[in-house]
Chains A and B, each alone.
Chain A
Amino acid sequence: MSDNLQQFVDLLPQLGEGILVTLQLTLGGAVLALLVAFTLGFGSRAHTRWARVPSRVVVEFFRGTSLVVQIFWLYYVLPLPPFYVELDPLACGILALGLNYGAYASEVVRGSINSVAKGQWEAAIALDLSPVHRLRRVIMPQAWPLMIPMFTNLLIQLVKGSALAAYISLHDLNFFTNELRERTSDTIFSYTVGLLCYFVVAYLLTLAMNALEVRAKNRLGTGPTLREVLRLAPVQTTADVGAGGPAPAATTASKGGDRDG
C-alpha cells in the first residue's frame, strides 16, 4: 500500500494535468452548452417557422444520437474525406459535450421560460414593455432560478461525460486513472482514487451552483441571502438548497421540457 502511495505521489503532476484537462473540457463544454441552450431554447419558441423548425431539428438530433457517437464521429470521421476537418482533440471534446448537453439544456431554457406565470407576460405587455425588455427584465430573472438546479444536474452529467475524452487521446482524469493502475498494478486503489477525484470535482461544482441558486432566489425575493445560508443558521430554506452533496444528477432536461403543456 505504501508502494501505491509512493507511485501516487510520483504521479501527482500528472494528476494535476488530468484534472486540468477534465476541468477544461467541463468548463469549455459548459460555456458552449449555455450558448447553444439559449440559442436553441429561444429558437424553439420563436414565432417564425424558419427559426423554430431548425431549432427543434437540431435539438432532437443531438438528443437523439448518443454523446459517444457524436464525440467519436467528430474525432474519427471528420478528418476523413469528404470533410477533411481535423480538430484538436480538446476542441472535439468541448464541441461534442457543448452540443450534446446544450441540446438538453435548451429544453431546460424553453421549459423554464414557459413556466413563468402567464400573468407576468401579460402585465409586461400591459405596461407596453418591448419584447426584448419583457424577456430581459421580467421573464428571465424569474426563469433563471428555475433553470439553475436543472443546469446543475446537467453540469454533473457533463463532467461524467467528459471521461470519454480519454478515448480521443486526451490525458484527462480518466486517462490518469488508467495510468495509475498501470504503474501500481492495483486496480482497486487506482480506480478508487480516480473516482474520488471525479466525486470531489462534481461536489465542488455542485456547491458553486447551489450558491448561485441561493443568490438567484434571493434576488427574486424568495429565499435567504447567501451569507445567511453560509452562516448555517437554521434558515428554513436550507433544505431545498441541497445542503448534503450533489443534487440528483438526473436527465432533468426532459423535466424542464415538459413544463409547457
Chain B
Amino acid sequence: MPENDTTPAIEFQGVVKRFGDNVVLDGLDFTVAQGDRVTLIGPSGSGKTTILRLLMTLEEANEGLILIDGDPYTHEMRGGKRVAIPDKRRSLVRRRVGMVFQQFNLFPNMTVLENIIEAPIHVLGKSKAEATTIAEALLDKVGLAEKRDERPTKLSGGQQQRVAIARALAMEPEILLLDEVTSALDPELVADVLGVLRNIAETTDITMLIVTHEMQFAREVSNRVLMFDKGKIIEEADPETIFTSPTHERTQEFLRAVL
C-alpha cells in the first residue's frame, strides 16, 4: 500500500538489463507517481517491452533496483549488497501489478468467466460467489456480459483482448501494464478496446504504464510521455508538448515517422 501520496508507484534505480552482450537498459532511472498514466514511446528495440516485463518479473534485471510503492521487488540491498528476493515475497508485490499482453494469452481450457475468476479465487482467496459478482460487473464494463460462458477461442481478437483486460482488473491491481494491446487486432476492432481502456482511465485511479503506437490514444489518456531511445529516456513531457513541439531531434524524427 502507498505509504503516502508522494511515494512513487514505480521507481527504477540504475536498472541494467543485458541479453548476452546486448545492453538493453543501461542504468535506467525513472519514477511513476501514483495514478499517473505514462506512455512509453520510442523506436523498435529501444527497450519498452523489456521495462514492462521487468515489472512483471518475466525478466530479471542484471543490476539496479525496482521499487513498487517504495517496496523492493525482485532485489534489495542488504549490507551494501544486492540480493535477490525469493519468489514467495516477490509474489506479494507482484499482486499489485497487472498486465495485458499483445497476444491476449487467455487460457483456452477455461471459459471467459473462469479465466477472470481463477486468480481472484486462488490467489486473493475470494469466495467463488464474490469473484463471480466482480467478474460479471467487469464483463459488463467491457461490454461482453453475454459471453461469460463462451470459450476464448470462439471470440474475436478484440473481444478476447477485452476479456484479458477484465481478467487483469479482477485482481484489483494498483498498476496496470499495457504492451501494445491493440497491435495484434484487425483495424476495425481497435476502437472497442481503446474505448474500454479510456473508460478505465476515466473511472479509476489505477497507475498505468502504456506502450502503444496509437498516438491519438496516448495523447488522450496519458498525462506523461517518455521517449526512449537505446534504453535511455531522451525526452519526457506532457503529451501536448511532446506531440506538438518535441525538443529532441530523435523524438522529432520518430514522431514524423509514426504520425
Contacts and interface: CB of A to CB of B under 8 A. Distances in A.
A138 interface: yes
A128 B118 contact: no
B237 to A, nearest CB: 30
A119 B107 CA distance: 10
Given A125-B56, A128-B171, A221 B154 contact: yes
Contacts of A127: 118-119, 123, 167-168, 171
Contact of A120 (B58, B105, B153, B164): B105
B101 A221 contact: no
Contacts of B98: 126
Contacts of A124: 107
Interface in A106-135: 117, 119-120, 122-131, 133
Interface residues of B, number: 30
Interface residues of A, number: 22
Contacts of B103: 119
* Chain A interface, >50% SS class: helix
Given A119-B101, A122-B101, A222-B153, A128 B108 contact: no
A239 B158 CA distance: 31
Interface string B145-167: 00000011110000000001001
A85 interface: no
A141 B94 contact: no
B78 interface: no
A123 B164 CA distance: 10
Give the most central of B101, B103, B108, B122: most A CB within 10 Å. Answer: B108
A226 to B, nearest CB: 17
Contacts of B58: 122, 125-126
Contact of B153 (A119, A125, A141, A221): A221
A47 B164 CA distance: 30
A133 B95 CA distance: 15
Interface of A: 117, 119-120, 122-131, 133, 137-138, 141-142, 219-222
